[in-house]
Amino acid sequence: MGWSRVLAGFTFLMTGGVAFADVTAEIGSKALSDSWAYNFLGDLTSEIGPRMAGSPAAHAAAEWAKRRLQQAGFDDVHFETFPIPAWTRGAESADVVVPSKQHLAVAALGGSVPTPAGGIEAEIVLFKSIQSFLDSAPGSLTGKIAVITQRQVRAQDGSGYGAIVGPMRVTGASEAAKRGAVALLIRSIGTDNHRVPHTGLMQYAKDAPKIPAAALSNPDADQLERLAAKGPVKLHLSLASELRDKAEAVTVVAELKGREHPEQVVLLSGHLDSWDLGTGAIDDGAGIAIAAGAARIIGQLPERPKRTIRVVMFGAEEIGAASKPYAEGQGERAANIVVAGESDFGARKIYQVSLPAGAGDSPFARQFAAALVPLNVDMGHQPARHGGADLEDLQEHGVPVVQFSQNGLDYFDIHHTADDTFDKVDRAELAQNVAVWASFAWLAADGDVDFRALAARAASK
């Protein structure tokens, strides 16, 4: 079907005529065959590589993304900057010294303080579950290295990650310090069996000493379990990380201005920053490629949609620092954001969509459900609850969110590791994501759906 036929049918869109379905079908077909997003991701991970928030590479990535978006025809491509603390990984090592000398694969957790010069040598106390660790008494770990080896459960929706990441990785070091530990090692929050550790953000409590913290590869966590079952184990740990007080993060914003209501915004997003071990392909180069690729498809239509489509590439998701500055920067304008979504779960196929509360039985839902059929995606029965980490503050300000559920069975094999590289991305699966996002964005931007009103109506019933 040619674009001329699609454009000719636009007058029938709001009456639910067949032309409406024609446009979404054409958008989906175009996205499935388009290679721009895949090439964007390949070039980003090759030409820039890892992009730690606040680093020179992150700033280079922002400049790179700005040029690519301008070349792709976006309007008002600009930066939004904000201050952050910047953490840098240094040399790191861990070795068993008792009962036998052997090397362990570790990665410092993001934000960890370094060990003292010369490292730390101490006996370990190993806990196979988070609960047994938390049940240990104050003072029971004095002078020891705490080791937690609870395993993450593999799940399609990634729920195994959320179940343990907070108490184990984020707050584990402070809990260990409260019990007297001099360092913390955790089994990597990941589902693989490779000797590749998974990094990730940790945070210190104000009422506890700051102790160094690192993640063990899963096979090395298994090794420590076996050794600890036989008798005392002593480790030597050395981390040379560095935390700077001030750095600058950069969020990249681009728009396709709406033809009738440019002040009304459909927001598509991902995050530009990544951890330093890999090249940030699935986390989250894929997400920004999907968001930008979807908007670009719509920008190639003969006519812009009624509302503005905004692409936001957040600059500091991995350290949890981008959501609040962006929401605060929007201020009262957040009320003009019609709906927002973030792609931040790799590039595997989308299998289900969850719409904002109250929208499940709306004309919009029926139109979108029809567009999803050829893409092999189901419409979920439950409303979207979490649009993405970078959208949390917008959600608190009442912005409706959409959630696209991807097949995440192997996502945490790669997440936050040196294996997060471009070869892990399947071109066809990435294109399916672009097709789903583009179909949604066009329907939301060219129609008159009011997700806030739908939610209020549903709440009043």
| Residues belonging to the active site | 317
Three-state DSSP at 100 gives: coil
Asked if 249 and 54 count as a contact pair (C-beta separation under 8 A), the reply is yes
Edge-to-edge order in the sheet of strand 234-239? 102-104, 92-98, 234-239, 120-127, 145-148, 183-187, 213-216, 106-108
Pick from 245, 241, 216, 243: which is nearest to 114 by CA?
241
Pick from 323, 318, 345: which is nearest to 334 by CA?
323
Other C-beta atoms closer than 10 Å to the C-beta of 271 total: 28
Other C-beta atoms closer than 10 Å to the C-beta of 328 total: 12
Cα separation, 118 vs 158, in Å, equals 38
Q: What interhelical angle do 18-33 and 427-446 show, nearest 10?
A: 150
Cα separation, 343 vs 433, in Å, equals 9
Dig out the tokens for 215 from the structure.
Answer: 């993640």
Three-state DSSP at 348 gives: coil
Using left for φ > 0, alpha for ψ between -120 and 50, and beta otherwise, residue 169 falls in alpha
Cα separation, 221 vs 186, in Å, equals 8
Cα separation, 184 vs 427, in Å, equals 39
Q: How many CA atoms lie within 13 A of 121 on its CB side?
A: 7
Dig out the tokens for 186 from the structure.
Answer: 């955790």
